[in-house]
Amino acid sequence: MSHARRTARLPALIAAALLVGAALACTATFDGGAQDARPADGGSTSGPAPTVRILEPASGVRVAANQPLDITVATDTTTTSFLMSVGGRVATSKALPPGQSGPTQAILTWTPDREGTYTVQVVAFNGPAASQPAALIVEVSGVASGPAPGGVAGCVGRVVVESLNFREGPGTGAARLGQFALGETVTVIGRSADSGWWKVQRANAQQAWVVNNAQWLQVEGQCDAVPVSG
């Protein structure tokens, strides 16, 4: 698609992004532990539009079809959600934990299913206020760059938003022990009886609880077999 045609579609993309962003703002607290990533000092959920940028990968990156591509994004101010489109079509959206205050980062993932050259755009929202899109060109080949990864042993998780709390027990009433780093990986060793919380072990062997929300903690592996933990 030519640059002119992509530019012509931009207003429609932003309009669609505004609608999705507004929906995300209304549904961000769907989870019983939704407030659990709130910073200690709280924060605003509406205000000026943020500015978003793509930290990595660099534009022009080459990836293989059917291989996940992580896109790390950052904003300059309070952000409530992100929307990512590929070729003018919405690919994924992520509602951030409510109560965020100030600049934030997140990891968005896209898995291309065919070769070609794609324009990936990310829009950030602060409530209904939308940023201008940040763009990334991705070159996708039709052949995997290496052997497909094997199955994951057990259940592992990866933190894909900033300011996600971990706690002493399964609930927002339990003592807050700290916050994960963006991109941190953990081993899932248990779950609450209602499956609303994961018990995890960090790389330093510390055990803690984190809310089960796939927008904030991505899990993979044999997670259905994780036992209920007291």
Give the CATH number for residue 208.
Answer: 2.30.30.40
The answer to whether residue 149 sits within a structural domain is no
Token pair for 140 = 């996708």
pLDDT score recorded for residue 98: 73
Count the domains in the chain. 2
Q: Do 114 and 166 fall into the same domain?
A: no
SS3 24: helix
Q: Among candidates 123, 125, 124, 121, which has minimal Cα distance to 138?
A: 121
pLDDT score recorded for residue 42: 38
195: left (phi over 0), alpha (psi -120 to 50) or beta: left
Q: Do 189 and 127 fall into the same domain?
A: no
Would you list the DSSP string of 121-172?
A: EEEEEETTEEPPPEEEEEEEESS-SSPPP-PPSSEEEEE-BSS-EEESSSST
Task: Give the domain-ending residue among 86, 116, 141.
Answer: 141
Q: Do 201 and 136 fall into the same domain?
A: no
Whichever domain contains 23, its CATH number is: 2.60.40.10
134-141/61-64 β-pairing: parallel
Rounded Cα distance between 83 and 15, Å, is 12
- What is the domain extent for residue 121? 3-141
Helix and strand numbers, DSSP H then E, in the chain: 1, 16
- Which residues of the chain fall short of a pLDDT of 50? 1-8, 10-11, 14-32, 34, 37-44
Q: Which residues pair with 167 in a beta bridge?
A: 176, 209
The answer to whether residue 148 sits within a structural domain is no
pLDDT score recorded for residue 196: 96
Q: Do 127 and 185 fall into the same domain?
A: no
Rounded Cα distance between 221 and 225, Å, is 9
Task: Give the domain-ending residue among 112, 141, 170.
Answer: 141
Q: What is the pLDDT of residues 210-225, one digit of tens each?
A: 999 999 999 999 999 9
